[in-house]
Amino acid sequence: MSLIDHNSCGDYQTVRRCIELISQNWRDQPELEELALAVGLPAEKLQKTFTRWAGLSPKAFLQAVTLDHARRLLDEKMPILDASYELGLSGPGRLHDLFVTHEAMSPGVYKARGEGIELRYGFHESPFGLALAMVSERGLAGLAFCDPGGEAEALDDMKSRWPRASYLEDLEATAPYALRAFDPHRWSRQDPLRVVLIGTDFEVRVWQGLLQIPVGTATSYSQLAGAVGAANAPRAVGRAVGRNPVSFVVPCHRVVGKSGALTGYHWGLTRKRAMLGWEAGIRAAC
């Protein structure tokens, strides 16, 4: 496994702690100085670090990402697409489904547990810690996250999904996908990111439904179930969401509980909050 300069991931660790504090104490509306004291940085440095990372200040993040943020969208019972326009997401280049093109690998590949396919993998820096990218000859097949020191566990987790596939570390092959996934300036309808989905027919249908949720919005499991024609099976939809192998790009982090609560996330609830906050910054820049 290639060595990575983990010091360069320090910004995320600082921001992650700050997000935890905001998420736990959002009702108290903590001031910048309180957050800075808690993370051990001068207030000015925290302001600059957080703003550089998220594209908005800690105060703006506090306003944009609280439990009420998701709850308000759902309580208004506004269709997700309508909500995107209401929130200023009229620019089509900012709608997630327009910069990702996807295809499903044959059900036989999934049933064979990945036998006969080669997946190249590599760990890369991202706004959310280390990102493990996995690619096939057809496109991005897996995207996972971990903190420094958790690389082996994350890799084992992803390999367990397709245990009979062959794996080869290849940073040169995975780097272009990691760079594209986390750079909004390179989200383009003219040059979409290619994703290949490896799962059951039902799982693929749910993951395709996730791709219809625009940046900066949220939906509930029951709403997603209705959208993919499985209104009577929200729990099965929830399991499929949890099995999504292409995290962030196929945006399972935008699915919340019926009450608007930010429910569990395979790669950590704090990381889910971080993703929603990062996207709030992108939305604000639209």
Active site amino acids = 252
φ/ψ (deg, to 5) at 55:
85, 5
The CA distance from 208 to 237, in Å, is 12
Distance CA(162)–CA(119), nearest Å, equals: 10
Q: What does each C-alpha distance from 217 to 78, 92, 279 come to in angstroms?
A: 11, 14, 9
Q: Are strands 118-126 and 129-136 parallel, antiparallel or unpaired?
A: antiparallel
**The two structure tokens encoding residue 166:** 């062959």
C-alpha torsion angle, residues 94, 95, 98, 100 (rounded to 10): 90
List C-alpha distances in Å: 71 to 48, 248, 252: 29, 21, 17
CB-based burial label for 73 (10 Å; 0-12, 13-18, 19+): buried
The edge-to-edge listing of strands for the beta sheet with 193-197 is 100-104, 193-197, 139-146, 129-136, 118-126, 166-169
Spatial separation of the C-alpha atoms in residues 76 and 283, rounded to whole Å: 19
Distance CA 245, CA 197 (A): 8
| CA–centroid distance for 187 within its chain | 15
* CB distance 270 to 20 below 8 Å: yes
